């Protein structure tokens, strides 16, 4: 016990409350220690000389309580992940293709597709029992380090993530151990977060998947993502399991322009509303303009960098700012770019009053089971201005 200051007469000390103790007062010979959760702790001080010169005993007490933990996903609905056939080596399935007018600059069979669309989920566990350090960052890491167990098998790990489709269930990962600890978001928050990547092959395997993935599994629209957290000590000191769930879903994209008529050389704000592209709730994402086709009398071409080869640099003519579709914020699912209405495309001048059809092909429309199974063309039509200058007298 150390005095807090010179001549303060106040002495303090600290000690660690154990998780278990030997209950000698129970009257029964204990073979194993019991939990301290749900018990009372008392401290007594024997003052050998009080104000009257007598010996007295003073004390204080407190309860040792646990907290019931909870677990939750960062979203209730996640987009369906898609693959990249360059890695899978199989054409035409589980991929999000660029517009068909994009030029295959590398000459590879599967160049004209987006990279694999892996979905990042954020699992949050709230359990103040693990907020041990007042100023440091704690973690949940006392689970088993055993290999991933199959669903239905008893696991001693703290958190297990799985994907369900009817009676089919596939375990994705388990964490909360020394290998995969769950880290506190900030000192004293009592909230612990773990990020998990979900690929298009992480789902159950059955005949609903594309033929090439029936044996490896896939994620389909309507699949249910479930997380289970084993709380070793709830408020009553008992072991309890808590869960949360979310679904995978595909939704329709929308293409919009800020106006319907533009002066040649003026700017157009092009907006793509596509929730399926919001793969991570914790950051803004970017997608190529080669997803969009420009179709007018001057030229028909994709609008991204792959329009340059054999297209006389159409991409440079649009002068996009930024250089690709950029999400307007974290997890908005709204992507925008500003392009210039060019004076010429492929050395052909745009006429006043020229009709321009802009088209986006959605490879993951609502109603499809997986990305690449169906496609839907979504368009918007704009015109260049045909207004000429006029003159008139006031009378």
User: What does the pLDDT look like over 364-381, one tens digit per residue?
Assistant: 999 999 998 999 999 999
Task: Tell me the mean pLDDT in the region 41-50.
Answer: 91
The predicted-structure confidence for 306-339, as pLDDT tens digits, reads as follows 886 554 467 889 999 999 999 999 999 999 999 9
Computed over every residue of the chain, the mean pLDDT equals 87
Residue 139 has pLDDT above 80, yes or no: yes
Residue 152: predicted pLDDT: 40
Of 90-99, 113-122, 368-377, the least confident: 90-99
Task: Tell me the mean pLDDT in the region 24-33.
Answer: 71
Which structural domains are found in the chain, ordered by start?
2-53 (no CATH), 70-249 (no CATH), 254-384 (2.60.40)
The predicted-structure confidence for 262-307, as pLDDT tens digits, reads as follows 999 999 999 999 999 999 999 999 999 999 999 999 999 999 988 8
- Residue 346: pLDDT band with limits 50, 70, 90: confident
Task: Tell me the mean pLDDT in the region 134-151.
Answer: 71
Residue 388: predicted pLDDT: 65
Residue 35: predicted pLDDT: 78
Q: SS in 3 state form for the chain?
A: CEECCCCCCCEECCCCCCCEECCHHHCCCCCCCEECCCEEEEEEEEECCCCCCCCEEEEEEEEECCCCCEEEECCCEEECCECCHHHHCCCCCCCCECCCCCCCCCCCCCCCECCCECEEEEEEEECHHHCCCCCCCCEECCCCCCCCCCCCCCCCCCEEEEEEECCEEEEEEEECCCCCCEEECCCCCCEEEEEEEECCCCCCCCCCCCHHHCCCCCCCCCCEEEEEEEECCCCCCCCEEEEEEEEEECCCCEEEECCCEECCCCEEEEEEECHHHCCECCCCCEECHHHEEEECCCCEEECCHHHCCCCCCHHHHHCCEEEEEEECCCCCCEEEEEEECCCEECCEECCCCCEEEEEEEECCCCCCCCCCCCCEEEEEEEEECCCCCCCCCCC
pTM above 0.75, yes or no: yes
């Amino acid at each position: 016990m150390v005095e807090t200051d010179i001549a303060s007469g106040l002495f303090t000390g600290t000690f660690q409350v154990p998780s278990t103790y030997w209950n000698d007062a129970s009257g029964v010979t204990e073979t194993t220690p019991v939990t301290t959760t749900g018990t009372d702790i008392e401290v007594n001080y024997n003052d050998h000389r009080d104000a009257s010169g007598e010996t007295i005993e003073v004390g204080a007490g407190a309860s040792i309580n646990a907290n019931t933990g909870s677990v939750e996903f960062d979203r209730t609905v996640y987009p369906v992940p898609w693959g990249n056939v360059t890695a899978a080596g199989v054409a035409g399935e589980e991929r999000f293709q660029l517009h068909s007018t994009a030029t295959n600059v590398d000459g590879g069979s599967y160049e004209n597709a987006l990279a694999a669309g892996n979905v990042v989920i954020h699992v949050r566990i709230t359990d103040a029992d693990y907020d041990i350090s007042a100023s440091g960052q704690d973690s949940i890491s006392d689970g088993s380090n055993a290999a991933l167990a199959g669903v239905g098998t008893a696991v001693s790990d703290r958190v297990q993530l799985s994907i369900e489709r009817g009676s089919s269930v596939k375990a994705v990962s388990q964490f909360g151990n020394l290998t995969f600890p769950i880290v506190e978001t900030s000192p004293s928050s009592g909230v612990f977060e773990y990020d998990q990547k979900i690929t298009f092959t992480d789902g159950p395997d059955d005949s609903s998947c594309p033929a090439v993935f029936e044996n490896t599994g896939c994620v389909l629209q309507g699949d249910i993502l479930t997380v289970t957290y084993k709380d070793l000590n709830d408020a009553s000191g008992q072991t309890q399991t808590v869960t949360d769930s979310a679904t995978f879903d595909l939704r329709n994209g929308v293409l919009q322009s800020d106006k319907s008529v533009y002066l040649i050389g003026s700017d157009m704000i092009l907006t793509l509303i596509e929730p399926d592209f919001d793969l991570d709730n914790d950051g803004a994402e970017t997608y190529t303009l080669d997803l969009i086709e420009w179709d007018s009398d001057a030229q028909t071409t994709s609008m991204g960098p792959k329009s340059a080869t054999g297209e006389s640099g159409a991409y440079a003519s649009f002068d996009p700012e930024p250089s690709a579709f950029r999400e307007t914020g974290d997890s908005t699912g709204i992507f925008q770019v500003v392009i210039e209405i060019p004076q010429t495309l492929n050395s052909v001048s745009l006429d006043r009053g020229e009709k321009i059809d802009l088209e986006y092909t959605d490879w993951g429309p609502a109603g499809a089971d997986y990305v690449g199974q169906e496609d839907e063309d979504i368009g918007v039509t704009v015109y260049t201005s045909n207004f000429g200058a006029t003159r008139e007298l006031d009378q």
